[in-house]
Amino acid sequence: MLQYILKRFLLSLPALWLLVTLVFLLSRLLTGTPGAEQILQENGGYYSKGSAAGREQAYKSYLERTGQNLPLFYFSVKASPEPDTLHLVYPESHRAFLKKLYWQYGNAQLVNQYYASIRSLEHALSPTQESEARLYFDILYRTTSPESINLAIAQLPQLNFGNTTHTNELRAAAALLLENQQAFAYLVPFWRWHGSNNQYHIWFTNVLQGNLGVSLRDGRPVSTILYGAVANTWWHILISIVLAFAISFKLGMLLVMPQSIKLRKVVLPTLFIIDSIPLFLLALLLLVLLATPSFLQLFPVYGMGYYIAAGGTWLQRLSIYAQYMALPVVCLVLGNIPYLTSLIYRSFSEESKKDYARTAKAKGMSPRQVIRTQLLRNTLLPAITVLSETLPALVAGAVIVETIFAIPGMGRLMVEAVLARDYPVIIAVVMLVAAFRAVSYLLADVCYSLADPRIKHAAS
């Protein structure tokens, strides 16, 4: 049995690895340099007083600190004129400008020379000259087509910078660039091998060692943030799953009794209707009806009540927590009961048609006894399958419920991370939930063999 479980566990690893790798690579490929704009914006007040050079320095040190100056993967394939260090160029507008030049002219060296000569001319100007020429440089940093570059260069003498060496240099660089245009160079791919010193390798080895990185928002380690959030979510999920299963089994047993035809006619359609209300709507309805002053205020609205519950005995604390947890748990339970109950009811009614159930009835057992002693164990099997599906699904439910009731748990963490584009946290949450699901599948396997010894023999 242990061997079988181990094998199942190892088999689930490739899919897990594939998913996590995909999410990591996508997060970097699609977003450029995540977090950079936030860092610079947050410190905008400080840096805007400083020079452009100071800002560039901050950007570079940010890249180095987060390891984003390294290549993304073991190898990269790029259009041949685009150099590998493009993402190190600081103002984003310059990056786009350079990229356009590379692709259009196909010669990285000449483009770099042209760009460097613009910059050296800009730096050589005195402050008064610079403010006068601001508009001209803004245009220069945007023009890429040959005609408009020629036009812009032709305007140089009229501006009277008085700095002939730099002007001449720029003119020569522009002429060289325009002459040696290789317009189709971008069609040739260029393969680069980076070795193990890349972002993915470092991230992955860190993850294997249990280091999930640092949040881009507040610089705290992701594992610390996750730990606090999981502790909250865990209790909600655990309580709701226990409640949902208990209620569903009780309901299923009630419904399968021969005398409860009327009950069936009421309960099954009701469950069907509850099932068609999306979870966020259900949560909102409960919130509006039961926790706002405009209607009935039976429950506290938001949060977990940590501040109120700081003192007091554990019983007092528990009662306060219970008030705060009541509505979220009710939502999660209501969201899961319809499916669970109908499944359990169906498997009960299927089992009750079988021979062994009839035999038990013929021996004189009451319907209740037949259900408890004979049918229950056999209906456990499908319920276990659903359990392994429901546990991870509850995390998705927690995303919605926690956002609405403002509970500082995993779901809300995910939503906040998504809104703030905090990639290390997003990846960590995805990874954690995927691992959680793998574990819950294993758990289901163990439960299977406990509920039905035949499976144990078949596996071993």
Residues that bind other proteins (CB under 8 A): 12, 14-16, 18-19, 22-23, 26-27, 30-31, 77, 79, 96, 99-100, 103-104, 184, 186-187, 189, 272-273, 275-281, 284-285, 287-288, 292, 294-295, 392-393, 395-396, 399-400, 403, 414-415, 417-419, 421, 423, 426-427, 429-430, 433-434, 437-438
Q: Which residue has the tokens 């339970």?
A: 333
Closest to other proteins by CB, 271 or 375: 271
**Least distance (Å) from other proteins to the CB of residue 360?**
28
Closest to other proteins by CB, 111 or 287: 287
Closest among 437, 428, 439, 429 to 206, alpha carbons compared: 428
Closest among 361, 389, 364 to 375, alpha carbons compared: 361
Closest to other proteins by CB, 370 or 391: 391
Whole-angstrom Cα distance, residue 48 to residue 92? 16
CA dist 315 → 236, 237, 311, 391 (Å) = 18, 21, 11, 28
Count of helix runs (H) and strand runs (E) in the chain: 21, 2
**Least distance (Å) from other proteins to the CB of residue 106?**
11
Burial of 334 (0-12, 13-18, 19+ CB in 10 A): buried
CA dist 378 → 49, 139, 252 (Å) = 73, 77, 14
Closest to other proteins by CB, 96 or 254: 96
Helix (H) or strand (E) holding 193: strand 189-193
Q: In the Cβ-directed half-sphere of 329, how many Cα atoms lie within 13 Å?
A: 20
Amino acid at 146: P
Q: Strand, coil or helix: what is 214?
A: strand
Closest to other proteins by CB, 31 or 150: 31
Task: Report the length, in residues, of the chain.
Answer: 460
Q: Which residue has the tokens 């294997």?
A: 208
Whole-angstrom Cα distance, residue 285 to residue 417? 26
**Least distance (Å) from other proteins to the CB of residue 314?**
33
Helix (H) or strand (E) holding 396: helix 376-405
**Least distance (Å) from other proteins to the CB of residue 29?**
8
Cβ atoms of 85 and 99 closer than 8 Å: no
Closest to other proteins by CB, 5 or 365: 5
**Least distance (Å) from other proteins to the CB of residue 97?**
9
**Least distance (Å) from other proteins to the CB of residue 396?**
4
**Least distance (Å) from other proteins to the CB of residue 395?**
6
**Least distance (Å) from other proteins to the CB of residue 349?**
14
CA dist 10 → 5, 24, 214, 386, 454 (Å) = 9, 21, 29, 22, 23
**Least distance (Å) from other proteins to the CB of residue 30?**
4
Closest to other proteins by CB, 208 or 419: 419
User: Phi, psi at residue 221, to the nearest 5°?
Assistant: -65, 140
